[in-house]
Amino acid sequence: MLARKVARKLKPDEIQNWKNPIFYISHMAVENPNSSCTPVIIVFNSSQKFNGQFLNDSLAKGPDHYMTGLLGILLRWRENRSVLIGDVKKFISIHIYEAEQQWHQFLWRDMNLTQEPDTYVITRVNMGDRPAPTISAEAILKTAQLYKEEYPRVARLFRGSMYLDDVGRVSRK
């Protein structure tokens, strides 16, 4: 996570000088035996209660108009003979601002029970956050818009066949 810049360790002065709210997120390792590139995934729980509150209670979901409706996609898929599907790999690469990072703190001590844990923050959108699907859809649509001149077919595909971070293409034959 550090090498991919998905998380960073907080410096002691950052911890001391931060006077605004913080939120600690629980996490756990989940094995993914069917994946050769990601055998273990660290999952963060934004719905976990901390000091009587859930982080997701403080986050707005975002508007649904950014996402193509699942029903519409499924109906279009049923009109044709075959469908190709794909997945956007770098869902967790959307940067969040420093103030938002403080709401995504977690403790880590690398399985060493004798040391005090270090404090880290998540620096990218967490898939467990309530607005994550809307943020992801917005980022994908903005990217499609930026490159629509170079890749018009891909831009149309993303605008009309995305659901969260999944994309489908209908074969007309």
Residue 42 domain-assigned (yes or no): yes
The whole-chain average pLDDT of the chain stands at 79
| Boundaries of domain holding 112 | 7-171
Q: How many domains does the chain have?
A: 1
Residue 102 domain-assigned (yes or no): yes
User: Hey, what long-range contacts does 25-31 have (CB within 8 A, 24 or more apart)?
Assistant: 25/50, 25/55, 25/104, 25/105, 25/106, 25/122, 25/126, 26/50, 26/106, 27/106
Per-residue 3-state assignment (H helix, E strand, C coil) for 9-22:
ECCHHHHHHCCCCC
- Percentage of the chain surpassing pLDDT 70? 76
pTM of the model: 0.71
Residue 24 domain-assigned (yes or no): yes
Give residue-wise pLDDT tens across range 153-167.
Answer: 878 777 766 665 555
Give residue-wise pLDDT tens across range 101-145.
Answer: 888 899 999 888 899 999 999 999 887 888 887 787 788 788 888
pLDDT at 69 over 80: no
Residue 2 domain-assigned (yes or no): no
Residue 136 domain-assigned (yes or no): yes
